[in-house]
Amino acid sequence: MSITNRLLTAVLSVTAGVAALAPASASANHPCQSEWVKFKTFFDQNGAAIARGICQLVNKSDAAAAKKCVDDFEAAKQKIDAKLAEYNAKADDSQWKIGPRGLGEATWASGTLLGERTFAGAPVLSDSWRLELQRTGGKASKPMRGTVCFLDGDGKLALPAATFAIDAGRPTYDNTFTGVAGLTPVILLEKPLGLNGHQYQLRGTRGVEPGVVREARQVDTAAKAAKIRGQ
């Protein structure tokens, strides 16, 4: 082999090695983010932007900011509760064929998984959110695999995704997530495509209102009491 050919072979080998180590392209986003992009209209209507602007930190000496925090939270809660009520009314309707299926509040949603299914709850108006999933029957022999994501208002993964597997021998999943205030929970369920499915039910339940809002209420209440005493 000539010197030129040997050099060319070496260059090609190095190039191939670099390509193998290169990071994946942007198209290899997390599947929850892919769902966000594909069904952006759903997520816009789901209330992703509603949770923005709710206070993150309360200045105990700023009564006006505390009042605004409470007012913003109440306005967002009214809209999000309306969306959750809509999802609760459809909890037994497994015929949502296109796009994510809305997950209500503290209400079991049921279905049969034959391939893939995506659920999305409204933004969480609490510091914690509990997800329960139970396999209730079915003839599928391969496990049902789940991925739980919490996305911010831009559809980006705000917390590390959690994964789990469900089958006849492991029929339940129960986990409470924390630090999720204002985030949108997305649950991806999948199994190898086939006629035999997993029958299941799942529900999401938020905890008490965020600590920052409770603190703002205390500041607001104290300011109102001080104003009354000063009259």
In a domain, 108, yes or no: yes
Identify the band that residue 28 occupies on the pLDDT scale cut at 50, 70 and 90. very low
Q: Is the distance from CB of 183 to CB of 71 less than 8 angstroms?
A: no
In a domain, 128, yes or no: yes
Identify the band that residue 135 occupies on the pLDDT scale cut at 50, 70 and 90. very high
pTM of the model: 0.81
Give phi and psi for 167, each to the nearest 5: -150, -170
Q: What is the pLDDT of residue 95?
A: 56
In a domain, 12, yes or no: no
- Supply the range of the domain harboring residue 206: 31-216
In a domain, 7, yes or no: no
Tokens 């739980």 found at: 148
What average pLDDT score do residues 37-65 get?
A: 80
Determine what percent of the chain is predicted with pLDDT higher than 90.
Answer: 55
- Give the three-state DSSP class for 157: strand
DSSP-H helix ranges across 22-160: 31-38, 40-46, 63-89
In a domain, 229, yes or no: no
| pLDDT at residue 195 greater than cutoff 70 | yes
> At 105, which CATH number?
2.60.120.380
Q: Give the Cα separation of 19 and 41 in Å (integer).
A: 36
The number of distinct structural domains making up the chain is 1
Tokens 């949502």 found at: 96
Q: Tokens representing 30? A: 């997390």
Q: Tokens representing 83? A: 């969306």
In a domain, 226, yes or no: no
- Nearest C-alpha neighbor of 153 from the set 76, 67, 69, 74: 76
In a domain, 131, yes or no: yes
User: pLDDT tens digits, residue range 92-106?
Assistant: 766 555 678 999 999
Element containing residue 212 per DSSP (H, E): helix 211-230
In a domain, 22, yes or no: no
